[in-house]
Chains A and B, each alone.
Chain A
């Protein structure tokens, strides 16, 4: 098997599975999965060479709606599983998806490490500022003061800023999109997949059932500001961080940051080390030989 990925002509529908989504009618995630189909078709890897990993939450159902190999795992742990997959078989295209609770609450500790290892993964977070699957509790990105079933008098905490979080840990590709702009979303997801290293896409994906009224697709459509129109330099991390500061007040879409410096991926370094040391020890059958005393 050659190391070069297979690129073939695929249509978006080739990445769709025959499972019917269980999301509420009007859920933002319908748009996200469509954008993923389109991005995958543009990239052109066959579905069986794709591993799509998620945690738990409404959005984490998404791998099952694609024709790729999917892994709907446990809450917050999609990133470690995805890294194990990519290290075990670097030829695979590995996508990771989940919600804001998955990525920035229960699994928040894993994000920093996936970033610093620079494993070539595309991590898509569907950020809806609420826990939908468990019916409307506070999430780590809920705004201060939000009243939910677990914060009847209003949230007492500031939200996590996912964009700033990943930028601060050194993420080399950071983008945001919304299903209110399908073309824009498919484009940033495609760019993230093509980015040779860890890539992060925050998707403002509204929860129609428990989300805030002012955070629905219609409002997104009106409020969104494509970064491309701002004269922003996506090669400048500090400017990207300044822009990311506006998370929660403005809806910027597009690429915040894309490092142009070549950086080794973890799996690439693993491969190098394996090649350097291949055959340097006894055979498997003779693995105990170094313990012989003489």
Chain B
């Protein structure tokens, strides 16, 4: 019995492969499994290749996983386009459409011989049973349910629910296609039988993706204004809010461009409302001037960047963590902006609420760096107890403050009470130009220096927020992993695998990426002799950012790779093992830096 199963499927757009993945995810979630589903596409709007991975487990899942246990190819060209995103090994069961004309002994997987390969007349079965090859995905679901003992009744029920609005005939046809898949599986059992262990989880679960979670968290945090412009892979945040935010007294403006989107959000924040915008890397470039304005005008704002592969259009449908430098360094004029990153769909709730809280508390734009993988992957999430969260409101002026109001008053914390239009006595000039405490424009170097100091100093308390860092493992361990965003799941899984292998590895996952909390890192790194900073970018941007702020142990290296080239937990563990061996043999080797 297996307790963890990773299924990867690919086909042409329109084959319904992603839809099959969604049906499978919902069925196993209802059955009581933990599961995560990721989708990956070519950039074509219709047609082209599409794929999904579904990982099903009896325990909480941290990542979409590495090597596939099951690979489904509706045609080989499309399957192979996904390369390392759908890796097949000698332990993979391969299922493909026999109309591809490929013999099971000749599947085109380079040097890899899968565990077993099954050529199934998928399209033909769909046509025979349902009268249309559009039911191919139902055949596939039947095959999976049959071979791997997966939630058969739930899948049937899912077909009924999903296709109900297309009419009874379509439902019936797809149920027949599903049954044909089941029968085929029963008639052609796997050589090495492999069934999923029964689900363990009881009680409610959510199935949600990261973008929806971000939108929902924004509503929870009190967001009342969203201004934005469609851009993959962030658009679903705007789509979700455009359905939901009205119920809570808010509004969404789909603006004429990225600049107007953030501009309207800045305006709404000036008018006293919690405001958000969302985009991806190229959109961030356009919003950058406005972020500078929000910094100097000290206006709260949450700006989400769902990172994709870049630069420019790059590979917009694939995940990457390559906008950290942009988030930190694109600011003109000494602007420091907090940068936060969620590590999973569930964590996106916490981090989005935190982003609003920090924005409101410190009157600053906050950049929320999500990535395509978290944003567009759907997963089972344990119910979130929202009563455990506090929601921060901006510090508004008291009667006494208003008696002689100075919007940018120098305070001990650097945070000055903020009024809003409509508030008598709070009238002031917000401006992008440097200003005095009362908001009057100035070109005084002395005032400029003092105001810069105020705007940067007010963020200092963030650097002591240990709750914005997660650590796991033995605090005295000489081996360490540091990772952020979606790759933190890979690092977490690697740490557990490594522990199972007898490697003592500790893990640090920062939610707060900037300002760099030097003390937190120093404490964590004190015992560290070797380790890896694991991230999805060519340059290894967190690794380099940390080097800029800290003296890192020489044995702490970067494990970084461009987007759409997965880093698997097993690979991380292999690197850690090498590091551990080297430490045993020649600890002094690690005094020599890799660069």
Q: Which residues of chain A have a CB within 8 Å of any CB of chain B?
A: 17, 19, 46-51, 53, 56, 61, 63-64, 67-74, 77, 79-89, 91-92, 109-110, 112-113, 270, 273-274, 276-281, 284-288, 291-294
B126 CB within 8 Å of chain A = no
Q: How far is the CA of A292 from the CA of B384 in the complex (A)?
A: 11
Q: Which residues of A contact B273 (CB under 8 A)?
A: 88-89
B267 CB within 8 Å of chain A = yes
Using A74-B290, A273-B246 as known contacts, say yes or no to A286 and B386 having CB atoms under 8 A apart: yes
* Residue of A50, A273, A281, A294 contacting most chain B CB atoms (<10 Å): A281
Chain A, Cβ-Cβ closest to B263: A80
B524 CB within 8 Å of chain A = no
Judge whether B421 and A64 touch: CB under 8 Å. no
Chain A, Cβ-Cβ closest to B428: A69
Chain A, Cβ-Cβ closest to B262: A80
Using A85-B268, A87-B251, A278-B247 as known contacts, say yes or no to A293 and B429 having CB atoms under 8 A apart: no
B437 CB within 8 Å of chain A = no
Judge whether A85 and B270 touch: CB under 8 Å. yes
Q: How far is the CA of A67 from the CA of B421 in the complex (A)?
A: 12
Judge whether A71 and B256 touch: CB under 8 Å. no
Chain B, Cβ-Cβ closest to A271: B251
Q: How far is the CA of A68 from the CA of B220 in the complex (A)?
A: 32
Nearest Cβ distance between residue B424 and chain A, in whole angstroms? 5
Judge whether A84 and B271 touch: CB under 8 Å. yes
Judge whether A74 and B247 touch: CB under 8 Å. no
Q: How far is the CA of A88 from the CA of B299 in the complex (A)?
A: 14
Judge whether B246 and A291 touch: CB under 8 Å. no
The segment from B135-143, B204-212, B464-472, B569-577 found at the interface with A is B204-212
Partner of B440, one of A64, A82, A280, A292: A64
Judge whether A81 and B427 touch: CB under 8 Å. no
Using A48-B423, A85-B421 as known contacts, say yes or no to A274 and B264 having CB atoms under 8 A apart: no
Considering only residues 188-236 of chain B, those with a C-beta below 8 Å from chain A are 204-208, 212, 216, 219-220, 222, 224-225, 227
Chain A, Cβ-Cβ closest to B246: A277
Judge whether B259 and A293 touch: CB under 8 Å. no
Q: How far is the CA of A293 from the CA of B199 in the complex (A)?
A: 15
Nearest Cβ distance between residue B414 and chain A, in whole angstroms? 22
Using A70-B429, A72-B431, A73-B293 as known contacts, say yes or no to A91 and B422 having CB atoms under 8 A apart: yes
Q: Which residues of A contact B244 (CB under 8 A)?
A: 281, 287
B93 CB within 8 Å of chain A = no
Q: Which residues of B contact A279 (CB under 8 A)?
A: 247
Judge whether B246 and A89 touch: CB under 8 Å. no
Q: A80-B264, A81-B267, A273-B251 are in contact. List 14 more A-B contacts (CB 8 A).
A: A64-B440, A68-B427, A69-B427, A71-B270, A71-B297, A72-B432, A77-B260, A84-B225, A88-B268, A110-B260, A113-B260, A270-B251, A274-B246, A293-B26
B333 CB within 8 Å of chain A = no
Judge whether A64 and B441 touch: CB under 8 Å. yes
Partner of B427, one of A48, A77, A79, A294: A48
The majority secondary structure among interface residues of chain B is: mixed
Partner of B207, one of A69, A77, A87, A291: A291
Judge whether B271 and A89 touch: CB under 8 Å. yes
Using A71-B430, A84-B268 as known contacts, say yes or no to A19 and B440 having CB atoms under 8 A apart: yes
Q: Which residues of A contact B257 (CB under 8 A)?
A: 109
Q: How far is the CA of A70 from the CA of B426 in the complex (A)?
A: 11
Q: Which residues of B contact A285 (CB under 8 A)?
A: 220, 386-387
Judge whether A291 and B212 touch: CB under 8 Å. yes
Q: Which residues of A contact B260 (CB under 8 A)?
A: 77, 79-80, 83, 110, 113
Judge whether B219 and A287 touch: CB under 8 Å. yes
Q: Which residues of A contact B426 (CB under 8 A)?
A: 48, 69
Partner of B422, one of A48, A277, A281, A293: A48
Show 8 A/B contacts (Cβ-Cβ < 8 Å), sorted by A: A64-B440, A84-B265, A88-B272, A89-B422, A92-B271, A280-B247, A293-B205, A293-B207
B482 CB within 8 Å of chain A = no
Q: Which residues of A contact B335 (CB under 8 A)?
A: none
Q: Which residues of A contact B263 (CB under 8 A)?
A: 73, 77, 80-81, 84
Considering only residues 415-459 of chain B, those with a C-beta below 8 Å from chain A are 419-433, 440-441
Q: How far is the CA of A109 from the CA of B268 in the complex (A)?
A: 20
Q: How far is the CA of A292 from the CA of B421 in the complex (A)?
A: 40
B513 CB within 8 Å of chain A = no
Q: Which residues of A contact B265 (CB under 8 A)?
A: 84
Q: Which residues of A contact B220 (CB under 8 A)?
A: 284-285, 287
Nearest Cβ distance between residue A291 and chain B, in whole angstroms? 4
Q: How far is the CA of A286 from the CA of B440 in the complex (A)?
A: 44
B325 CB within 8 Å of chain A = no
Judge whether A88 and B427 touch: CB under 8 Å. no
* Residue of A56, A85, A270 contacting most chain B CB atoms (<10 Å): A85
Judge whether B216 and A288 touch: CB under 8 Å. yes
Judge whether A77 and B259 touch: CB under 8 Å. yes
B248 CB within 8 Å of chain A = yes
Q: Which residues of B contact A277 (CB under 8 A)?
A: 246-247
Q: How far is the CA of A272 from the CA of B536 in the complex (A)?
A: 45
Q: How far is the CA of A280 from the CA of B289 in the complex (A)?
A: 38
Judge whether B266 and A67 touch: CB under 8 Å. no
B383 CB within 8 Å of chain A = yes
Q: Which residues of A contact B289 (CB under 8 A)?
A: 74
B275 CB within 8 Å of chain A = yes
Q: How far is the CA of A292 from the CA of B349 in the complex (A)?
A: 15
B150 CB within 8 Å of chain A = no
Judge whether A49 and B421 touch: CB under 8 Å. yes
Partner of B384, one of A67, A270, A284, A288: A288
B315 CB within 8 Å of chain A = no
Judge whether B422 and A64 touch: CB under 8 Å. no
Judge whether A81 and B266 touch: CB under 8 Å. yes
Nearest Cβ distance between residue A95 and chain B, in whole angstroms? 11
